[in-house]
Amino acid sequence: MIRIAIFASGSGSNAENIAVYFRNREDIGVSVIVSNKRDAYVHERARKLGIPSYTFSKAEFDEGSAVLDTLHEYKTDFIVLAGFLLKVSQPLLDAYPGRIVNIHPALLPKYGGKGMYGDRVHREVLAAGETKSGITIHYVNERYDEGDIIFQTTCDLQPGDTPEEVAGKVHALEYTHFPRVIEAVVTGQTSLNPLSSA
Ligand code: GAR
């Protein structure tokens, strides 16, 4: 059994979608959800899914040991960031080398970096007059949104699209692609079945 921990700071719709995708599987599963926000809606989703969820402070994420204790308690093999706000600290990177992936709601390397989260990303994409946005799934390293890219795909933007409309298009791509890309990564299939890139 390959066990995944999901890190999420907000609503957690991706966390739920991933957990549902792997539900009833004997080879891969979501074993725990971890957040830096006690009031994040992801905890309610976790409760309904029957998945334990925990909150740690930024200081605890930075220092690492309490988070790692929990990850080890749930025998975590891979970490998936699904709308997680904080930079992943060195102790976590050291404990999970090449085993942390993130999804970003735009086409990196543009519109990434510190503070580029959720609707802020969509507003900047629209302000720049882009005709396309999309998703980027990438490995996590010590710099925000700069790890090796695993998969990208695009959606068209229309003149007059609102940030909410862009978020809807991007979320649809996330729900379709993120679980299967995670599956490919955790089973080591990314090089055997090359995934399309934008
Ligand atoms: C997702 O769109 C994800 O790509 C984005 O936050 C949203 C979380 O939605 N992540 C980032 O912006 C990371 N920089 P969710 O909580 O409903 O899954």
Task: Encode pLDDT of 52-66 as tens digits.
Answer: 999 999 999 999 999
Domain count, the chain: 2
Residue 83 to residue 115: CA distance in whole angstroms: 12
Cβ atoms within 10 Å of 133's Cβ, excluding its own: 24
Query: Binning pLDDT at 50, 70 and 90, where does residue 192 land?
Result: very low
Contact 36, 56 (CB under 8 A): yes
Q: How far apart are CA 121 and CA 115, in angstroms?
A: 9
Mutate to test the pocket of ligand 1, among 13, 85, 103 (most ligand atoms within 8 A of CB): 103
Supply the Cα-derived Rg of the chain in whole angstroms: 16
Percent of the chain past pLDDT 70, that is, above it, reads: 96
126 and 62 both lie in a single domain? no
Identify the CATH number of the domain in which residue 32 sits: 3.40.50.170
Range of weakest confidence among 13-22, 58-67, 110-119: 110-119
Dihedral sign (CA 110, 112, 115, 117): positive
CB 87 within 8 A of CB 7: no
pLDDT over 90 (residue 152): yes
Cα(96)–Cα(68) distance, integer angstroms: 10
For residue 178, the enclosing domain spans: 102-198
Say whether pLDDT at 195 is over 70.
no
85/114 same-domain check: no
Q: Which of 6, 7, 9, 13 to mutate to test the pocket of ligand 1 (most atoms within 8 A of CB)?
A: 13
Tokens of 51: 């998945």
Q: 20-75, pLDDT tens digit by residue?
A: 999 999 999 999 999 999 999 999 999 999 999 999 999 999 999 999 999 999 99
CA of 85 to the centre of ligand 1 (A): 9
- Considering the domain architecture, whether residues 92 and 106 belong to the same structural domain is answered as no
Residue nearest atom 7 in ligand 1 by C-alpha distance: 83
CA 129 to chain centre: 26
Beta bridge partners of 28: 2
Domain stops at, among 52, 73, 97: 97
Together in a domain, 132 and 198: yes
Here the tokens at position 55 are 């909150």
- Is the per-residue pLDDT at 198 higher than 60? no
CA of 189 to the centre of ligand 1 (A): 25
Closest CA to 99 of 144, 147, 54: 147
pLDDT band at 87 (very low <50, low <70, confident <90, very high): very high
The predicted pLDDT at position 196 comes to: 55
**Has 72 been annotated as catalytic?**
no
- Average pLDDT of the segment spanning 133-153: 94
Statement: residue 197 has pLDDT above 80: no
* Average pLDDT of the residues in 102-123: 95
Please tell me whether residues 194 and 110 are part of one structural domain: yes
Q: What is residue 191's predicted lDDT score, i.e. its pLDDT? A: 62
Q: How far apart are the C-alpha atoms of 176 and 17, rounded to whole Å?
A: 9
Same domain, 9 and 91: yes
User: Same structural domain for residues 1 and 84?
Assistant: yes
